Every structure is written in C-alpha cells, then in structure tokens.
Amino acid sequence: MEPLRAFCGPIIHALSASELEIIPSGAIVVNSEGRIQLLLRDVNPNDPLGPITAAMPPAPPDQPPTPIAIHQLLPGRFLIPGFVDTHNHAPQWEQRGLGQGMHILDWLEAITFPNEARFADPSHARRAYASCIDGFLRQGVTMASYYGSLHGEATNILADLCLEKGQRAFVGKCNMSRHSPAYYRDASIQESLDVTEACIAHIRKVDPEGKLVKPVLTPRFAISCDNEVLRGLGEIAKHNPDLPIQTHFNEAEQEMKATKELFPEFENEIDLYGHFGLLGERSILAHCCHMTEYEMQRFKELRCGVAHCPASNMTVGGGFMAAPVREFMRRGIKVGLGTDSGGGYSSSMLDAMRLAIVASNAREVMSGGKDKGLSIAEVFYLSTLGGAEVCCLEGEIGNFAVGKAFDAIVVGTTGADQGIMTMVGEDEGLPMMFEKFVMTGDDRNIIQVYVQGRLVKG
C-alpha cells in the first residue's frame, strides 16, 4: 500500500485577500493522488504521527491503516502554496530584459516578433521551452498561464513538456492573423482557427482530464486578430464551456488608440471582446491599466479576472502604469499576478509581489490616497489564491485547503538555504522570516517544489 505523506512544520497560506494564516507547527497529509487529505494546525513537532493518526478516518475493520511517511521540515524552513503566474509568454523566456524604453508596438516589432518567429523550428521550441519550464519551476511557479507562439507544433511541444516536467499550465497557441510582419503571422484566418482547434485536440489527447495541462484560447490582442478570427474563437469558446480564454486588455495608450482606430464601432475593449463572445468568468485579461467606471462594472458583471503585471507595466510597454488593483479588490473583481515574462524583465513571482507593492504605492499617490498600497499579505494572496481564482482553479489550488492538490514550495531561510537573504539573529520568528522571504528572497530560498504531490525541484 502506497504510504500517505505528511509534511510537518511551519505552514503559511492565504485563506482570502485579507486573511493570512500562519501555522507555526502544522501538518499536511497528502494522498497518493497528490491531494490534501488533512490539514492539522497544531502538531507537536516531536511527535507528529500521534495527532495525525488520531485525525485520520479509521481504516475499514478488515484493512490495516494506511502507513504515513513523515516529512519533517528542517529548521528555518516553511511551506507555502506554489505560485500562480497568470500571464506568461513562454517563447519570450530567453528575450527577457531586452527592449527597455520601447513602446509596446515598437517592442513587438523590434524584439518580440523576430524572437517568437524562431519557434517555427520544433527543435528550437523543444530546447527553449524546456529551459523556460525548468526556469519557472525552479522559481516556484507551479501553475502558469502560457501564451505560446503562433505555431501549432511548438505549442503542442510546450504542452507535452509541461506534462513531462510536471508543471500545471494553461497552454495556448497565439492567434495573430494581421498587423505583424509577414514572416510571423498566421497564414490565413482559417489556418489561425484550424491550428487552434488542433492544439486543443492535442492537449486533450495528452491530458484527457486536464488534470495538469489545459488548452486556453489565446487571441494575442484585437489589433492582431481579424474580426473573423475573434468570431471564430468566440464560437470555439461557446462550444467548449470549460476552456479558459486569455488576451491583453487596456494595456497602454498606444495599444488602446490603435485598437480604437481598428474597431471604431466599439467604444471600448470590453464591448469589443464581449461582442465576439470572449468574456466571462473564464477570461484572464492581462494588464487592465486604464479602466473606466463602465469597464469596471462590466468586469464585475462578467466575472472576468485580471492578470496584474507590474514589472512590464512600469517599464517596457509605454512608460509607467499602475493598474487600479485596490479598486479591483474593493469591487470583488478577481485579480492575480503575472510575471509577463518577457515584457516583464523579471521571471520571479517574488519580484512580481514586490513590484505590485511599488505599483500600488504609486497608485495610492495618483489616487490622492484613496487606493491604499498593498500589504505583503495581500500580494502573497494575489500570487497564490488570487491567481488561482483568476484561472477558475480556486477549487484545485491556491492554498492548503483539504481536497485541493498539493502544489507547494518548501522555503528555506537559514544556513545553506540562505542565498542573499539575511536574518536578524537566531530568534527570528516565523512572520518575520516570511516577510524577509517575500521582500528579499530568490530562487535559492525555494528549496523544494511540488505540483500535485510530485517533487519537481529539489
């Protein structure tokens, strides 16, 4: 009989945007499916097995109890949920950091399209995507919503590699049938849609239950899609009510102005994407920097989710933008964080959290004090449970609630685990270690990473 695993030690996770639970000595029992069977909040570290056994449902009379393997965390270590990166361009992994100071459309032309075009070559895709997935797993990203390139084969490779390496992911072939150079554009409207359907079919074949990897509809943005492509994707969405949908939304003034010129019949992007049947609770809309009252209301009604990407919003893409995250949260609009690697210069969700604090502090000034800056607990929520909600995966991941998958990070903060972090002496408490990790840690403090109970780092 495969033993249950019990991870024993300090545990920190978000119960909601306003509730950070800090458990100094707890235990998480994980079953053979990689699901959380039990969360205990007060376990004697010298005798974890006793209380765990007592809390387990009794074995049937004629069966022996399931054995339990104890994984006791070393001193200075604690467990947190894996990070959810709600907006990530997998083919841009290797170009990250380039193109500072460029506006979004110029950056696409000069840096991004030439790089993404290389994914026409499956061997390039295999090498670059393997590096990408390894790089994000190493940094604790247990779930990523990936934009692929426009290529069907490369997109299938990305999905295969996520499965193979054990990263939870949404994977989408990027639709772009116009307004990009001829060397990097869907061959036709029909091909754009056909390749999309083929990728969906492939991903459903390799992961029939979508346990780890799911397809996602991925129109790059309205500028790059003919009306027929948007309409076709809306049709696919209608016939596949489980499919998530992702696109860029109100990212930058240059982009919004170009969109308005192409679609003069729509007052705003929410009406545009809504018209084509692309908005609903499954929609993950990246950036959302500039929002009118009407768009805010529609977001709430439609239950769209926001992928907030502070790194790219404050650097590449057209200057400095601080999305109204506090206002989204106040209205109950779903928000998560995205690295936006490579528009975002950092591939670290820790940086995304820090930069979300910076952006929210700027927003506080720009709103005349109305939108208060975000706390560490709040950005941690955004990077875990908030992201899960945006992906409609809050029943599966985001924290350590019983029944969810065990997607987790073992954080180390002392001794050999320390990296560049520093501690105030030996007596540092758990809340302080956590705060230090969020503000000053990096992948060297991410000792082990689990996805659905499978060890994928460490």
Does 436 help bind a second copy (rule: CB under 8 A)? Answer: yes
Q: How do 213-215 and 168-172 pair as beta strands?
A: parallel
Question: Is residue 312 part of the contact set for a second copy (CB under 8 A)?
Answer: no
Torsion of CA 113, 116, 122, 123, to 10 degrees: 110
Of 265, 270, 267, 264, residue with least CA distance to 283: 270
Closest distance to a second copy from the beta carbon of 271 (Å): 27
Q: Which of 120, 206, 423, 430 binds a second copy (CB under 8 A)?
A: 423
368: contact with a second copy by CB under 8 A: no
The residues, ordered by sequence, that sit 6+ positions from 94 with a Cβ below 8 Å of its Cβ are 115, 128, 131, 132, 342
Residue 50, CA atoms < 13 Å, CB-side half-sphere: 6
From 314, 323, 337, 382, residue interacting with a second copy (rule: CB under 8 A): 314
Q: Which residue's entry shows tokens 């408490």?
A: 429
The set of residues, in sequence order, having a beta carbon less than 8 Å from that of 75 and lying 6+ positions away, is 414
- Please select the residue that binds a second copy; options are 390, 443, 445, 450, rule is CB under 8 A: 443
Residue 346 interacting with a second copy (CB under 8 A): yes
Candidates 120, 206, 358, 401: give the one binding a second copy (CB under 8 A).
358
Shortest distance, CB of residue 17 to a second copy, whole angstroms? 15
Among 53, 74, 281, 320, binds a second copy (CB under 8 A): 320
Rounded to a whole number of angstroms, the minimum distance from the CB of residue 22 to a second copy is 16
Distance of CA 375 to CAs 348, 381, 440, Å? Answer: 18, 10, 15
Q: With respect to a second copy, which residue has the nearer C-beta, 407 or 443?
A: 443
Give least dist CB 59 to a second copy, A. 46
Q: Residue 445 CB, nearest distance to a second copy (Å)?
A: 12
- 100 sits near a second copy (criterion: CB under 8 A): yes
205-244 residues labelled b (16+ CB within 10 A) or e (exposed): eebeeeebbbbbbbbbbbbbbbeebbbbbbebbeebeebb
Quote the least distance from Cβ 314 to a second copy, whole Å. Answer: 5
Task: List all residues 6 or more positions away from 375 whose beta carbon is below 8 Å from its beta carbon.
Answer: none
CB closer to a second copy, 25 vs 315: 315
| Rounded Cα–Cα distance for residues 308 and 145 (Å) | 13
C-alpha distances in angstroms, 103 versus 32, 255, 318? Answer: 49, 9, 4
Write the interaction track for a second copy spanning residues 133-162; mark x where CB under 8 A is met and - where it is not.
Answer: --x--xx-----------------------
Give yes or no for residue 110 binding a second copy (CB under 8 A). Answer: no
Cβ 379 to a second copy, closest distance in Å? Answer: 9
94 binds a second copy (CB under 8 A): yes
**Binding flag, residue 172, a second copy (CB under 8 A):** no
- Give whole-number Cα distances, 155 to 4, 130, 165, 346, in Å: 36, 12, 15, 23
Size of the site for a second copy (CB under 8 A): 47
Binding footprint of a second copy on the chain (CB under 8 A) = 93-98, 100-101, 115, 131, 135, 138-139, 314-315, 319-320, 322, 345-348, 354-355, 357-358, 361-362, 364-365, 373, 375-376, 420-425, 432, 435-436, 438-440, 442-443
